[in-house]
Amino acid sequence: MIDATQSAGQIPIDVAQSGVDAVATSTYKWLCGPFGTGMMYVAPELQKLSPGIIGWRSHKDMWDFQADRFEYADSAKRFEFGTMAYGTAFGATVSTNYLLELSIERIAEHNRQISNRLLEGLSELGAEVLGPRNVASRSATVAARFPGKDSADFARTLKEADVIASLRRDFIRFSPHLYNSSDDIDQGLRAIRAAL
């Protein structure tokens, strides 16, 4: 079982090739969708398992409200147990279709370019860049510490300079995505330089 929340929408995921049994993801992060919705893949050979938690949507004919019998759906639908938040599901569908139109491969390449630019710029500024440097082993997320700077204070300073980053424990996380450009990265690096 894989939680793909930090990957789905920014890197290609081939569930069949990977051999995983199940993948679940939220839609609010890299998939650019709303909070309150998620997606799950279940390998075909496991779609016959009992889901553990069942409800009216788990039924083969969810509109058959006969209370004295229950037949599981013959697909991953058996894992849908309750009424979904239709508004957020619609938003998640729109955002996912938009990303698929753009192509996850193209998004991954764009994100690689801008995150490489960010990583190199942070290194030139003397930041301690955390995580793998190898492009094949990392996503667009770049985490760093700034020597001589308290990360919590520095994150507030960056926010005041309109650099959107996230404090995580004792480091700062940058998460550029398809909506960011090289100009955004350069602007952020200039603001970091000024703050240092």
pLDDT at residue 45, as a whole number: 86
Percentage of the chain lying above the pLDDT 90 cut: 65
Q: In terms of domains, do 18 and 85 share one?
A: yes
- Which two three-digit tokens encode residue 97? 């279709």
Q: In terms of domains, do 67 and 94 share one?
A: yes
Of 47, 70, 102, the position where a domain reaches its end is 102
Domain, as residue range, for 146: 105-195
Residue 67 identity (one-letter amino acid): A
Q: In terms of domains, do 87 and 15 share one?
A: yes
The CATH code of the domain that includes 175 is: 3.90.1150.10
Q: In terms of domains, do 45 and 124 share one?
A: no
Report pTM: 0.83
User: How many residues make up the chain in this entry?
Assistant: 196
The CATH code of the domain that includes 86 is: 3.40.640.10
Q: Which residue has the higher pLDDT, 61 or 127?
A: 127
The mean-pLDDT minimum among 19-28, 127-136, 172-181 falls in 127-136
The contacts of residue 93 (CB under 8 Å, 6+ apart) are: none
Of 43, 73, 102, the position where a domain reaches its end is 102
Q: In terms of domains, do 73 and 132 share one?
A: no
pLDDT greater than 80 at residue 99: yes
Q: In terms of domains, do 79 and 111 share one?
A: no
Q: Tell me if 40 sits within 8 A of 76, measured CB to CB.
A: yes
The rounded mean pLDDT for the chain is 90
Q: In terms of domains, do 142 and 121 share one?
A: yes
pLDDT at residue 90, as a whole number: 93
Which residue bears the tokens 């926010």? 159
pLDDT at residue 62, as a whole number: 77
pLDDT greater than 90 at residue 92: yes
pLDDT tier at 86, thresholds 50, 70, 90:
confident
pLDDT at residue 84, as a whole number: 78
pLDDT greater than 80 at residue 81: no
Q: What would the pLDDT profile of 17-64 be if each residue is shown by its tens digit?
A: 988 999 999 999 999 999 989 999 989 888 888 888 778 788 888 777
Q: In terms of domains, do 15 and 93 share one?
A: yes
The contacts of residue 15 (CB under 8 Å, 6+ apart) are: 23, 41, 43
pLDDT at residue 48, as a whole number: 83
What are phi and psi for residue 9, nearest 5 degrees? 100, -15
In angstroms, the CA 107 to CA 92 distance is: 18
pLDDT greater than 80 at residue 66: no
CA nearest 165: which of 182, 188, 187?
188
In angstroms, the CA 22 to CA 57 distance is: 19
Q: In terms of domains, do 6 and 86 share one?
A: yes
Q: In terms of domains, do 113 and 189 share one?
A: yes
Q: In terms of domains, do 13 and 46 share one?
A: yes
The tally of domains found in the chain comes to 2
Q: In terms of domains, do 62 and 114 share one?
A: no
